[in-house]
Amino acid sequence: MKRYKKILIGGTVAAMLLLTFSFTQVNYFEVTKNLDIFTTLYKELNTFYVDTLNPQKLMEAGIKDMLEGLDPYTDYIPEEDMDEYRLQTTGKYGGIGAIIGTRNEWVMVTEPYEGFPADKAGLRAGDKIIEVDGKSARNFKTEQVSAMLKGKPGTEVVVKILRLKADGSEEQMTVKMIREEIKIKNVPYYGMVDDKVGYIRLSNFTDRAGQEVKNALQALEAKTKLKGVILDLRGNPGGLLNEAVNVVNVFIDRNTEVVSTKGKLEEWNKSFYSLNDPVDLKVPVVVLADGGSASASEIVAGALQDLDRAVVIGQKTYGKGLVQSTRSLPFGAKLKVTTAKYYIPSGRCIQAINYAERNEDGSVKRIPDSLKVAFKTRNGRTVYDGAGIDPDLPAEAEKLANITISLITKSLMFDFANEYRAKHDKISSATDFKLSDKEYADFVAWVNKKEYDYTTKSEKTLEALKEIAEKEKYFESIKADYETLKKSMMHDKQLDLEKEKAQIKSMVEEEIVSRYYLSTGRTQTALRSDNEVKLAVEVLKDGKKVEEILAKKQ
């Protein structure tokens, strides 16, 4: 009987090994077969195609199409794009430290970074870049001018600009700067939004994000005994997974699991724990999140929610539960490939889209509500997987009026702020500055001389009704009524400028303040009218509100 068992077990193992070997051989055969087809096809094209081929362009097109069938995060990075990739992961580059953008035929400065060469040299938003190191920049694209301004730290760059004067004319100026290593801050701003409530804005997850949040919290706690702190992750697209762990670690005890990853290969099955002592385990925390909060932002928001360490306020997050790793390719290129899914402390994965299964038209499928699974936080609250992080306290995001969107897209607020700066050498502090009613009236008069327009939702709906009626051949019978309704619904820009005064005025104030106090001033001004921040302050100052929310079992 023992001998029979040995033979049976041995035969089973051999069969399993044979099946594994066969599968590997088949998979290997399919790979080599299709690679052979691909290379042979290219050789034939290169030999017989009527025109000369561009090998790089052709191959990159093939790679792009191949990866397009996967998920949007698996990407090919050619050698010439590696500087941009390194900037995304480290936040560092050599240059002058300024955001630039195109306006008509010129690239112009839209905002200098505080404390870097552009700021120290006195460059302002609205300065047109007409020449870099003796080369004209007229009709150049933003990327071209950016490449000209970047360079090795310590090298000189000479820039000629046109600057708007108070009388409306422009003066030419030559500015010499020494390039520096520019490190874009993960925490562009922190401060007090109330006498007892601190605020930390986290916009990226590049190197040292955790350290920057730690430094910010320590600086706030050195000022006063905080009743709470707001961690703002709105619009933060994510970044390095280990930095997400470091940010969570600021608020939780060491040796706590923050996130785990699971992939096809054993090497991607990992757990990530907080390794350091926290800054504060007791200060109440509110995390602000929205639909633009993704990836590492969702790890932070989700982990703090699962561990019942923070109240999440805002809107449902993006729903990216995928992890990417980079693989080296020949000739300095890289492949950024999705290798795993991540799972936050409750055990849930918040990935909202299933890229492995697609509809017949090729579009991706979102995880349906019926397939979402319930999980429990540390205190027993119910949370769900498969669709991002749901806020504990939903808050409606501010909706921009059509006229506000038009003023932004046409850069009219930007241009008005440039003119204001040219006419006013200084203003009051960022927290105190406000446009007077007369100044807002001046803005309205100024805007009314500009060309811009927009379509309201009602007008769009009416136009859609017309198209349907025309298709169904009813339009002629309702044409007179349609024209009357259209005339009565026609928007009045002058009326809208008054109706949406509060929103437009606050945004113009932000734009003007940024001309004097840069990004810090813009944020301080914006916080005055931020309803989600106001709600967070109310929750934190309540005393027991945070505890009640986090203790509530569903």
Tell me the catalytic residues.
295, 306, 320
Structure tokens at 62: 């093939």
d(CA 463, CA 141): 36
Q: What are residue 541's DSSP bridge partners? A: none
Q: Amino acid identity, residue 419?
A: E
Q: Indicate the DSSP class of residue 227.
A: S
On the CB side of 491, how many CA atoms lie within 13 Å of its CA? 20
d(CA 97, CA 93): 9
The interaxial angle of helices 501-527 and 437-447, nearest 10 deg, is: 120
Structure tokens at 499: 């109706």
Chain centroid offset of residue 234 CA: 8
Structure tokens at 535: 């709600």
Q: Indicate the DSSP class of residue 529.
A: T
On the CB side of 109, how many CA atoms lie within 13 Å of its CA? 30
Distances (CA, A) of 544 to 13, 525, 533: 62, 29, 18
How is 404-457 classified by DSSP, letter by letter? HHHHHHTTHHHHHHHHHHHH-S--S-TTT----HHHHHHHHHHHTTS------H
Which residues are within 8 A (CB) of 166 and not within 5 positions of it... i.e. 6 or more apart?
Answer: 422, 423
